[in-house]
Amino acid sequence: MKFVEDSRIKISRKVLALAWLFFALYLLFIMGLSYLLGIRPLIWGLPRWVAIGNIVVPAVFVLLLILVAERFIPDIPLTEDEDSEQEE
């Protein structure tokens, strides 16, 4: 008897890899900007790297995450449908 893997498992593995890639990109972007930006005050007397790294970049990445979720993450059912139960 051959084991048939649920298609939801394959999709969830791809989404997990996409999530780790997005998170790594986010961290690299924040660390790079924090390193490259100076300590001159920019917003509310905060250093430039703090203002951009903790306010601007997260806001941009939240908007980018919405686009990634809409385009690259498929909508799959979380429960088994009744048709598959009747076949068994």
The larger pLDDT score, comparing residue 73 to residue 1, is at 73
Confidence of residue 83 (pLDDT cuts 50, 70, 90): low
Determine contact, residues 53/38, Cβ cutoff 8 Å.
Answer: no
Q: What's the pLDDT tens digit per position in 9-58?
A: 888 889 999 999 999 999 999 888 878 877 777 677 778 888 888 888 89
Confidence of residue 62 (pLDDT cuts 50, 70, 90): very high
Q: How many CA atoms lie within 13 A of 44 on its CB side?
A: 6
Identify which of 55, 51, 33 has the alpha carbon closest to the alpha carbon of residue 43: 51
